[in-house]
């Protein structure tokens, strides 16, 4: 990575505005945080700044309030959890900009931490607003981007603010770029990509870019239905992307031409409806009925995937193998998670749902690396530049 990082600048007694991605999942009934992985991932940057005597100003979005104040999406619950993790009080402002917020920041001493209220309470955040950028920048001397998961967005606090402050990468952002970059530049072989989730369209760029890097490509989840349909199989009422059938066929041809071993499901769990009460049966892919929907990979597919993955030295996993939110359709996904957790390979997970699976199963610590970015990781692995990274200062500028 050729960008300056927080280690490359003097931060003592400086007001450092850190863009973090604390967009954590909340329980719909209680409002409690159900997964604090994104908060924990940024702790090294925050702790480094505290230890160096900086005055730390954190900025994040939470949910999609669409430019309006939503009491359910206030960041107080995030500040409370961060306080517990840091072992010190983290204050919260009533607004992310304004005179009152400026006064709160003026009271900060070296090593103090404060969290600005939800950036997306202002519609200007998502509009890349120069005015909003100046309002945020006036609070700080330096800017640090540690929000990899949002760095594919051209939002004000991600890109525009670098026009007003020296802008560098945080330690999490640096780790994300180096780890994912390593997959593209020098992965240990054999290298496998295990892909699931609902849509082919979300992953086309990434698949095309890594086809020249991987030795094998394994496809499950909802997106497998589109690939199976492209191969001429009946997929019943499974959700497919009709406009991506040709794309899927082309990707399979490219894999074949490039000597990449591509595995699709050979058996699947199907149901007439995707709900907890529906009748469930496992069938070979050539026997899917016209009224049935694919809900998970079957045991033979799980075994075939296992045999392929156990010989690999690098495995990238993005997307569940089925409708994992419903326990009866989660077996394939759970099997893959257990396999990767026990593997001797370097295991890199990308995507919010994939990270959530590993965390909920208590397996996160057994993975080599779990990316905090879904869309950002797919774009980066697809060879696209990330606006939030491009906006940071290059090393050669100094």
Nearest-10 Cα torsion for 36, 40, 42, 46: 120
* Catalytic site positions: 38, 199, 352, 375
Confidence bin at 273 (pLDDT 50/70/90): confident
Which pTM value belongs to this model?
0.91
Boundary (domain end) residue, out of 175, 198, 230: 175
Q: What percent of the chain has pLDDT over 90?
A: 90
Distances (CA, A) of 103 to 94, 106, 117: 11, 5, 14
**397, pLDDT greater than 70:** no
One DSSP character per residue, 61-82 reads --S--TTS--GGG-THHHHHHH
**35, pLDDT greater than 60:** yes
Nearest-10 Cα torsion for 52, 53, 55, 61: 30
Mean pLDDT of 77-84: 98
Boundary (domain end) residue, out of 175, 195, 215: 175
Mean pLDDT of 118-130: 96
Number of domains in the chain: 2
Q: Are residues 302 and 232 in the same domain?
A: yes
Please check whether residue 30 lies inside any domain of the structure. Answer: yes
**398, pLDDT greater than 70:** no
Q: Which domain holds residue 261?
A: 187-381
Q: Are residues 346 and 377 in the same domain?
A: yes
**14, pLDDT greater than 80:** yes
Query: Taking Cα atoms as reference points, which of 120, 115, 44 lies closest to residue 81?
Result: 115
- Over residues 170-218, the pLDDT tens digits come to 999 999 999 999 999 999 999 999 999 988 888 999 999 999 999 999 9
**125, pLDDT greater than 60:** yes
Q: Are residues 158 and 99 in the same domain?
A: yes
Q: Are residues 229 and 129 in the same domain?
A: no
Please check whether residue 390 lies inside any domain of the structure. Answer: no
Q: Are residues 119 and 243 in the same domain?
A: no
Check which CATH number belongs to the domain holding 310 and give it. 3.40.50.1260
């Amino acid at each position: 990575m050729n960008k300056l990082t927080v280690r490359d600048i003097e931060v003592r007694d400086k007001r450092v505005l850190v863009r973090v991605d604390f967009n954590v999942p909340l329980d719909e009934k209680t409002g409690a945080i159900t997964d604090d992985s994104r908060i924990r991932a940024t702790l090294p940057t925050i702790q480094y700044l505290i230890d160096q005597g900086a005055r730390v100003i954190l900025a994040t979005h939470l949910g999609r309030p669409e430019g309006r104040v939503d009491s359910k999406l206030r960041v107080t619950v995030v500040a409370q959890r961060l306080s517990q993790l840091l072992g010190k009080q983290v204050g919260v402002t009533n607004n992310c900009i304004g005179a009152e917020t400026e006064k709160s920041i003026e009271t900060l001493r070296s090593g103090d931490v404060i969290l600005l209220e939800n950036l997306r309470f202002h519609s200007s955040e998502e509009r890349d607003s120069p005015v909003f950028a100046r309002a945020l920048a006036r609070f700080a001397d330096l800017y640090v981007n540690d929000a990899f998961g949002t760095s594919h967005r051209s939002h004000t606090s991600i890109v525009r603010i670098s026009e007003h402050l020296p802008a560098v990468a945080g330690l999490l952002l640096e780790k994300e770029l180096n780890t994912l970059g390593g997959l593209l530049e020098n992965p240990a072989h054999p290298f496998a990509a295990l892909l699931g989730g609902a849509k082919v369209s979300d992953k086309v760029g990434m698949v095309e870019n890594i086809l020249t890097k991987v030795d094998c490509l394994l496809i499950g989840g909802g997106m497998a239905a589109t690939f199976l349909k492209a191969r001429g199989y009946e997929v019943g009422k499974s959700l497919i992307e009709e406009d991506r059938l040709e794309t899927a066929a082309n990707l399979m041809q490219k894999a074949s031409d490039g000597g990449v071993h591509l595995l699709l499901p050979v058996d699947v769990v199907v149901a007439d409806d995707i709900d907890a009460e529906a009748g469930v049966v496992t069938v070979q892919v050539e026997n899917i009925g016209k009224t049935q929907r694919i809900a998970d990979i079957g045991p033979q597919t799980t075994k075939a995937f296992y045999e392929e993955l156990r010989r690999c030295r690098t495995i990238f996993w993005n997307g569940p193998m089925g409708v994992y939110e419903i326990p009866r359709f989660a077996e394939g996904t759970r099997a893959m998670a257990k396999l990767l957790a026990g593997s001797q390979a370097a295991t890199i997970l990308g995507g919010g749902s994939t990270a959530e699976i590993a965390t909920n199963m208590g397996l996160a610590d057994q993975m080599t690396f779990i990316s905090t970015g879904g869309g950002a990781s797919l774009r980066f692995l697809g060879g696209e530049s990330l606006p939030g990274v491009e906006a940071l200062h290059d090393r050669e500028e100094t």
